[in-house]
Structure 1
Amino acid sequence: MKLGKAVSGDRIELRDYKDSDREFCMEMWFHPENGRYLSDPDQAHVDGKFRRALDGLEDNKAGCYCVAWLKNGQRLGTCCLFPEEDGSWDIGYCVHRRHWGRGYGTEIVGLLIKYVRGQGGKSLTAEVAKENAPSNALLKKLGFQAEREGEFSKYNMPVRYESWFYRLWLTESGE
């Protein structure tokens, strides 16, 4: 699945992931600090199965992988969208650590909301580690509400996080 056309905001735009973005993404996702709360492993725990999954990101049929770019042409972070049959879209996002604390995560998620609304989506969902205070605050700021608790593991690693499942309803009826 692809966005097709870039989704633009005031300072950034979201573009479809290309294989040429792989090095930037891997450096960010596998970094111990930057990727701490992602389900992706650190570099030492990447195996062949995971590498093969990376090979398919550009043409993934189940979801859409995107790279966030500053309007000056610099890569900023990543995000993803996975539509569900019930009209909900699950999202994920990651901002490169050199850009933390500047509100870019809020803008990325805002653009995801804009895109899903344009597709007629009913809601967005996101799972966030309870320990990840900045991401929990970001989602609450944008109107997401915690629906239930959960837990996830980092791929191929003995690291588990308790989590919150958040939802933002895009319809007035909330269903």
Structure 2
Amino acid sequence: MEHPSACGRAIVLETERLLLRPWRVSEAVVQHEMWTERDPRVPPHRRIGADGRPTVEDVEDWIRSRSESDFLGLPAAELKGSGDVIGYCGLIENTHGRENEPELAFELLRRAWGQGYATEASWAVLGWAQASGYRRLWATVRDWNAASRGVLAKLGFIQTDRVEPDEVHGDSLFMTKQL
């Protein structure tokens, strides 16, 4: 991984094949496509609803509302050679009561699956997190999501004893990694 750089105040991470950088409004269609591709077992609040929301316009508004900060967030994952955005990878606030221990989150368009991009992007994020002083990261993953569990295993995340049972959407497994 190359060192993070600043684009204005925004954080940009670079790997051999990817740039992790802020989303552009014109890329809302990519985020919307990810919403449409999500597995039916994903909880409804993370899928396109019966009302068609979020729409591309909703996603555009979300991108416009994001302010640049010193926190990584969920930057777009752009292929360096083509400039195509294939998903996101970054850190989100840990909502499970662990201050200063954010969660790693990634999602790619289906056409980008199986090519090592999630692992590559995640290594860049882990490097940034460590350089930024974080000591531990978390990740939650549904038990049925073998691909994401595989990425987390490659990164050295270990499963904890914490599991949130969910008979409808699949149990959420809590994983952690010391940096």
* Whole-angstrom CA distance in 1 between matches of 2:89 and 2:23: 9
Residue 170 of structure 2 corresponds to which residue in structure 1? 161
The partner residue of 1:150 within 151, 160, 164 is 164
Q: 1:65 to 1:55 in 2, by over 3 A?
A: farther
Q: TM-score, normalised by structure 2?
A: 0.75
1:90 equivalent to 2:99? Answer: no
* Whole-angstrom CA distance in 1 between matches of 2:166 and 2:132: 29
Q: Which amino acid aligns with 2:115?
A: R
* Whole-angstrom CA distance in 2 between matches of 1:29 and 1:56: 14
1:74 equivalent to 2:67? Answer: no
Matches within 5 A, 1:1-175: 4-33=10-39, 37=42, 40-42=46-48, 44=50, 46-47=52-53, 55-58=61-64, 59=66, 64-72=73-81, 73-83=83-93, 86-147=99-160, 148-151=162-165, 159-170=168-179
Listed one character per residue, the Cα deviations across residues 80-137 of structure 1 (whole Å, up to 9, x for unaligned) are 4124573211121111111111111101111110111121111111110100111111
Sequence identity of aligned pairs in percent? 26
Residue 19 (structure 1) shift? 2.2
Q: Which amino acid aligns with 1:162?
A: D
Q: Classify the secondary structure of the residue corresponding to 1:17.
A: coil
Q: Classify the secondary structure of the residue corresponding to 2:121.
A: helix
Q: Which moved more, 1:35-44 or 1:9-18?
A: 35-44
Residue 64 (structure 1) shift? 1.5
Partners of 1:31 and 1:43 within 8 A in 2: no
Residue 169 (structure 1) shift? 0.8
Gaps of at least 5 residues in structure 1 are 154-158, 171-175
Paired residues, number:
163
Q: Classify the secondary structure of the residue corresponding to 1:5.
A: strand
Q: Which amino acid aligns with 1:98?
A: R
